[in-house]
Amino acid sequence: MTTARKFYVLAFAFAFSFLQAQQPADRYIVITVIDGARYSETIGDPAHRYIPRIWNWLRPQGIIYTAFYNNGVTTTTPGHSSILSGVWQHIANDGSEPPHNPTVFEYYRRYFNRPPEDEYVILKKKKLAILANSDSPDYGQKYAAAVSRVDASVAYKDSAAADNARKTLLTAHPRISIINFPETDDAAHQGNWLRYLRAIRKADSLIVDLWKKMQGDSVLRGKTTLIITNDHGRHLDSVENGFVDHGDTCEGCRHIMCVAVGPDITPGTVDDEQWEQINIAPTVGTLLGFPTPQAPGKPFPWAEKKQFKRETAH
């Protein structure tokens, strides 16, 4: 081979590897949020009475975090925004204020030059439409996620949220999605303890069904990482009106569940180190292969292991 020819071959190989690096990894990430479930009624309950399917079915296949926290504002919109941006968002809870740092949706679309349909915010709570994009300079609306809404008449019904999620996930196959299950928080705010517990159980069941549906889908099977968490917990019984409300810095409001299952996770893992909501965005970035420069947290180690494999494969 002549020197010139060698040069062209090398240049082509270099360009090709660069182009390859601009493709997202073959992964789909689904974040499900059980709105306002307290740790003592989820993983922290020794009998796991209200999350039997997650506990018995998903946990053995994945990882649970026993010291996972919302250390920002313990309400819905800030909680979801901190998960998606990897930066604590001290924003209004009524949907009037967008996140101020880019979400994983914006990082992803900008880095890979991809359309909005690659990512979905799947809604029940209308105010969460603001999760589609931040108002961060250089990001924002032009890199927003698509939003999948349901009829307002079935507001706060987790079954409607799950139906919407199933349809969206199995038809659009979004790379990144977040799904809010609102019923638990709604029941608790009404002061109805039994309805609150029933709502957690229902979300438990709906999320495991959703996982099974994804594993039956030829695109998503074996390539999907499911993260189950909360936006916030609720007051400890000893704080103010206890489970009915939330929003301060008590242990009950901050300590939340996190369970993850997916192809890069060693089955049956328990992680008791302290992790926070802001570790999720860098984890999503690492799994799909895009940077999240404004997010200070580190990704979960199992996601990095995957990234390492990706880099050495080239």
Q: Which residues bind Zn ion (CB under 5 A)?
A: 36, 185, 235, 239, 248, 250, 253
Under 8 Å CB-to-CB from 287, ≥6 apart: which residues?
25, 27, 29, 225, 264, 299, 303, 306, 307
DSSP 22: T
76 vs 225, which CB is nearer to Zn ion?
76
CB 307, min distance to Zn ion, A: 35
How far is the CA of 21 from the CAs of 17, 18, 25, in angstroms? 6, 5, 9
The b/e string for 84-119 (b: 16+ C-beta within 10 A; e otherwise) is bbbbbbebeeebebbbebbbbbbbbbebbebebebb
What is the residue type of 113? Answer: N
CB 240, min distance to Zn ion, A: 7
Q: Classify the phi-psi angles of 247: left when phi > 0, otherwise alpha if psi is within -120 to 50, otherwise beta.
A: left
Helix (H) or strand (E) holding 180: strand 176-181
CA torsion through residues 71, 76, 77, 83, sign: positive
- Report yes or no: 260 and 209 within 8 Å, Cβ to Cβ: no
| Strands 63-69 and 255-261, sheet pairing | antiparallel
- Report yes or no: 75 and 271 within 8 Å, Cβ to Cβ: no
59 vs 235, which CB is nearer to Zn ion?
235
CB 242, min distance to Zn ion, A: 9
CB 67, min distance to Zn ion, A: 17
125 vs 166, which CB is nearer to Zn ion?
125
208 vs 253, which CB is nearer to Zn ion?
253
Which pair of structure tokens corresponds to residue 116? 């909005």
CB 10, min distance to Zn ion, A: 58
CB 245, min distance to Zn ion, A: 7
Residue 224: strand, helix, or coil: strand
113 vs 238, which CB is nearer to Zn ion?
238
36 vs 72, which CB is nearer to Zn ion?
36
CB 51, min distance to Zn ion, A: 19
41 vs 264, which CB is nearer to Zn ion?
41
CB 83, min distance to Zn ion, A: 16
154 vs 250, which CB is nearer to Zn ion?
250
The b/e string for 60-72 (b: 16+ C-beta within 10 A; e otherwise) is ebbbbbbebbbeb
